Each structure stands twice: as structure tokens, then as C-alpha cells.
Structure 1
């Protein structure tokens, strides 16, 4: 499962991006979560790719 870390602030983001971060389980800068590798989660990661980093394991 990929590990996703929020590296940038969500200030100035659209409501859609804020909802996506919340759905992924990210709460603050530096917070890391593991996400199942599904087409839906890949789409969510793509939507907020400028705010996160993804580590494939």
C-alpha cells in the first residue's frame, strides 16, 4: 500500500480539494497515511498531487 504524506498547506485550496484530503485521512502537514491502491484512490491522489508526496512500497 502506498504511503501518502501531506507536505503543503491546504490554505487556498478549493472545497473539492479539502474534501479529497479529508477522504484520504490527511489532517495536517507532515501527516502520513496508508491508502489502498485502487483506481478511486489513485484519482484522489491525482487531484491533490501538488499538496502530497506518495511513497510506493
Structure 2
């Protein structure tokens, strides 16, 4: 289980949240993204992976 918590993912917002569904905006904010081209590192938890999956069309994702 300690191995799973060590996995990190770099997530970058590459498309704007303007005009998107409120749930999708909430997922982007939940991942810690505020601005275009901002990159954050998040843990690869099921919760974060679900948010990433929902708004994947707005994100660039790579392993850290």
C-alpha cells in the first residue's frame, strides 16, 4: 500500500474551463489547478484518477 501512495502524477491544464459544466470546473479546482498551463503534482489515488478521467479532455497528464 505504501507503494501506491508514492506514485505521483503531473497534471497540466491545457484547455480553459470557461463555458464548461460546473462539475467539470469543480474537478479541475479539486485537482488544485487555477490557471491555464499551470502544472500540479497529485497523488495517484482513486479519487484523483476519477477527477482526471472526467476532465481528461482539458488536461495533459504524465507520470512524475
Unaligned runs of 5+ in 1: none
Q: Pick from 40, 43, 52 the counterpart of residue 47 of structure 2.
A: 40
1:12 Cα deviation from its structure 2 partner:
1.3
Normalized against structure 2, the TM-score is what? 0.85
Give deviations 1:8-32, integer Å, cap 9, x for gaps: 0111110001111111000011000
Kindly tell me the number of residue pairs found equivalent between the two proteins: 57
- Pick the structure with more helix per residue: 2
TM superposition outliers: structure 1 runs of 4+ over 6 Å: none
- Pick the structure with more strand per residue: 2
RMSD: 0.7
Instruction: Say which SS state the counterpart of residue 40 (structure 1) adopts.
Output: helix
Normalized against structure 1, the TM-score is what? 0.94
